[in-house]
Amino acid sequence: MIGLLDIDKWIFQYINTGMTNEVFDAIIPWLREPVFWVPVYLFIIGFSLFNFGKKGYFIIVFLALAAGSADFISNTVIKKNVERLRPCKALDADEVIKRVHCGSGYSFTSNHAANHFAISWYLIFLLPISRRWLRIGLGTWAFAVAFAQVYVGVHYPLDVISGGLLGICIAYFWSEMFRRFWK
């Protein structure tokens, strides 16, 4: 009988080894590097301050609370209790392509996914529908970071899906806290 973890491993191997190509190998490892996203972070700060004035400062403060909460819950609460090994540590060398350093710690849930989904969805929840292009961009950004974790071999798909869902829940909470605070 095939279980959920078997499906998770199969999807991981499809993404990690089956989708291998030179373009992905050159670009995708960069998607998980925080310094690569500095322009996006600066854009978010500038956009918030330019479009919302004083309110923008508080948007940024609550955004930091969302990202910090996602990171803390994912890393300290969930990872240290679930203790799922990363695929780059759990699988044999012929089952995984290690495109980056495997990293220490555990795999479930993905902090990268939790943090980036918390940031992007916090903003998505706050932005008006008229900013559709920005909402699509934010969602694509979070998905790209999560996908990169699987492609480089450091997380299973369930790790990033769960991290993403955690990030969305935290984003919703902090966006509601911001709305109550700003009233």
- pLDDT above 90 as % of the chain: 77
**What is the end-to-end Cα distance of the chain in Å, rounded?**
54
8 token code pair: 């998770």
Please return the burial class of 88, using the count of CB atoms within 10 Å of its CB with bins 0-12, 13-18 and 19+. Answer: buried
Each domain of the chain, given as residue ranges in start order, spans: 4-182
How is residue 17 annotated by DSSP?
I
Segment 31-45 shows an average pLDDT of 90
Segment 10-20 shows an average pLDDT of 95
Question: What is the predicted pLDDT for the residue at 17?
Answer: 94
Express each pLDDT in 39-52 by its tens digit: 989 999 998 999 88
**Is the model's pLDDT at 128 over the cut of 80?**
no
Q: SS3 sequence, 21-84? A: CHHHHHHHHHHCCHHHHHHHHHHHHHHHHHHHCHHHHHHHHHHHHHHHHHHHHHHHHHHHHHCC
Question: What is the predicted pLDDT for the residue at 183?
Answer: 79
**Is the model's pLDDT at 1 over the cut of 80?**
no
> Cβ(90)–Cβ(106) under 8 Å?
no
**Is the model's pLDDT at 166 over the cut of 80?**
yes
- pLDDT above 70 as % of the chain: 100
Which of 47-56, 82-91, 107-116, 126-135 is most confident? Answer: 107-116
- The CATH code that applies to domain 4-182 is 1.20.144
Segment 167-179 shows an average pLDDT of 97
**Is the model's pLDDT at 176 over the cut of 90?**
yes
d(CA 167, CA 154): 19
**Is the model's pLDDT at 129 over the cut of 80?**
no
Average of per-residue pLDDT values in the chain:
93
Express each pLDDT in 42-89 by its tens digit: 999 998 999 889 999 999 999 999 999 999 999 999 999 999 999 999
